[in-house]
């Protein structure tokens, strides 16, 4: 029914279950659907031409406004904490305090760098960030069909919003919850707003002050898109879930992580830099039969 599911990048533990959820989402109709998505390495690309693409944090870390010493310190943090973030053998209890430590230390370093609000657009323009292939169709299909898109990111909200804006796909159906920068009256970065969102607290605990999901109580079908094990809890605050389809991009250390991803995500996309499968599912869901 969806040819994209035959791509060699696609793995499913239970293809019949997947077909069942997709049929149910289609049957319940587009008015019941919402999409919840991570941003970094899910809507943005993990790699291009053999090189790693930057996360929203890395865009700042690598930018011209950061001193050489600042760049070195931020890179040291990345090299120390990223392997911990993706380590399949560490528990959440072990990881969470270390993730708070990483984000706090990185945000403190960034806040010492005199980053100007007025520089953000240029910083993004000069970066090597890329949205996944097929992003235009993805954002446009959701917009045209009035499907809410909730972007839940432990990245930097100001940066990811600017990326989407520069790609001309920041439509009114999009809502973002992320780490937003806090600028002083002169437009100089002085910190980050609370609550701090890291990879493993992307759940209801950081959404308490938003009424987003309560307003969407009629949207009982969910397509969830993520790239980390932490993204699996992004829909925990949804009040009424009837159908949920979890699609996971497995970008890094594929063989090591395959088992856990297949247990947790309904569809796993291995080293797939496109939104082909997601677009195929949406197309099928939106077509009137």
Catalytic residues: 38, 40
What the block records as the tokens of 225 is 């898109």
Least Cβ distance, residue 251 to Mg ion (angstroms): 9
* Residue count (the chain): 289
Which of Mg ion, ligand L45E5XJ5, none is residue 103 near (CB under 5 to 8 Å by kind)? Answer: ligand L45E5XJ5
Least Cβ distance, residue 12 to Mg ion (angstroms): 21
185-244 positions binding Mg ion, by CB under 5 A: 227
Q: Which residues contact 17 (CB under 8 A, 6 or more apart)?
A: 266
**55 counts as binding ligand L45E5XJ5 under rule CB under 6 A:** yes
* The one among 22, 35, 66, 106 contacting ligand L45E5XJ5 by CB under 6 A: 106
Q: Which residues contact 111 (CB under 8 A, 6 or more apart)?
A: 189, 190, 191, 192
* The one among 59, 154, 229, 250 contacting ligand L45E5XJ5 by CB under 6 A: 154
**179 counts as binding ligand L45E5XJ5 under rule CB under 6 A:** no
Q: Which stretch in 42-50, 124-132, 171-179, 217-225 sits in contact with Mg ion by CB under 5 A? A: 42-50
Which of Mg ion, ligand L45E5XJ5, none is residue 235 near (CB under 5 to 8 Å by kind)? Answer: none
**113 counts as binding ligand L45E5XJ5 under rule CB under 6 A:** no
Q: Mapping DSSP to helix (H, G, I), strand (E, B) and coil, where does residue 173 land? A: coil
**63 counts as binding ligand L45E5XJ5 under rule CB under 6 A:** no
What the block records as the tokens of 224 is 């969830």
Backbone angles phi, psi at 130, to 5 degrees: -140, 140
4-33 positions binding ligand L45E5XJ5, by CB under 6 A: none
Binding footprint of ligand L45E5XJ5, residue count (CB under 6 A) = 17
Q: Mapping DSSP to helix (H, G, I), strand (E, B) and coil, where does residue 174 land? A: strand
3-state secondary structure string across 220-280: CEEEEEECCHHHHHCCCCCCCCCEEEEEEEECCCHHHHHHHHHHHCCEEEECCCECHHHHH
**82 counts as binding ligand L45E5XJ5 under rule CB under 6 A:** yes
**41 counts as binding Mg ion under rule CB under 5 A:** yes
Output the DSSP codes for 57-81. HHHHHTSTTS-HHHHHHHHHHHHHH
* The one among 40, 266, 272, 276 contacting Mg ion by CB under 5 A: 40
Residue 219 C-beta-side C-alpha neighbours within 13 Å? 21
Q: Is 288 exposed, middle or buried (0-12, 13-18, 19+ CB in 10 A)?
A: exposed
What would the x/- binding string for ligand L45E5XJ5 be over residues 114 to 153, using CB under 6 A?
Answer: ---------------------------------------x
Q: Which stretch in 55-63, 167-175, 249-257, 271-279 sits in contact with ligand L45E5XJ5 by CB under 6 A? A: 55-63
Cα 43–Cα 49–Cα 51 angle in degrees, nearest 5: 75
Contact 199, 205 (CB under 8 A): no
**57 counts as binding ligand L45E5XJ5 under rule CB under 6 A:** yes
Residues near ligand L45E5XJ5 (CB under 6 A): 38-41, 55, 57-58, 78, 82, 85, 102-103, 106, 153-155, 199
Residues near Mg ion (CB under 5 A): 38, 40-42, 227
């Amino acid at each position: 029914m969806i040819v994209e599911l035959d791509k060699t990048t696609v793995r499913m533990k239970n293809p019949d279950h997947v077909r069942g959820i997709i049929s149910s989402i289609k049957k319940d109709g587009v008015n019941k659907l919402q999409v919840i998505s991570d941003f970094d390495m899910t809507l943005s690309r993990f790699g291009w031409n053999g090189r790693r693409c930057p996360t929203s944090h890395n865009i700042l870390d690598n930018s011209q406004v950061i001193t050489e010493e600042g760049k070195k310190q931020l890179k040291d943090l990345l090299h120390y904490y990223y392997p911990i973030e993706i380590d399949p053998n560490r528990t959440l209890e072990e990881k969470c305090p270390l993730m708070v430590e990483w984000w706090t230390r990185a945000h403190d370093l960034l806040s010492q760098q005199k980053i100007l609000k007025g520089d953000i657009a240029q910083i993004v323009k000069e970066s090597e960030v890329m949205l996944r292939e097929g992003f235009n169709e993805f954002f446009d299909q959701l917009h045209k069909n009035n499907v809410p898109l909730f972007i839940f990111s432990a990245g930097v909200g100001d940066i990811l919003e600017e990326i989407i804006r520069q790609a001309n796909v920041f439509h009114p159906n999009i809502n973002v919850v992320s780490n937003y920068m806090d600028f002083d009256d002169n437009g100089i970065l002085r910190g980050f707003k609370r609550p701090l969102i890291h990879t493993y607290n992307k759940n209801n605990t950081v959404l308490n002050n938003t009424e987003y999901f309560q307003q969407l109580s009629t949207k009982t079908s969910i397509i969830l898109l993520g790239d980390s094990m932490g993204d699996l809890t992004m829909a925990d605050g949804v009040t009424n879930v009837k159908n949920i389809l979890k699609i996971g991009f497995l970008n890094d250390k594929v063989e090591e992580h395959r088992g856990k991803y297949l247990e947790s995500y309904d569809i796993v996309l291995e080293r797939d830099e496109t939104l082909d499968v997601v677009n195929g599912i949406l197309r099928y869901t939106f077509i009137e039969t």
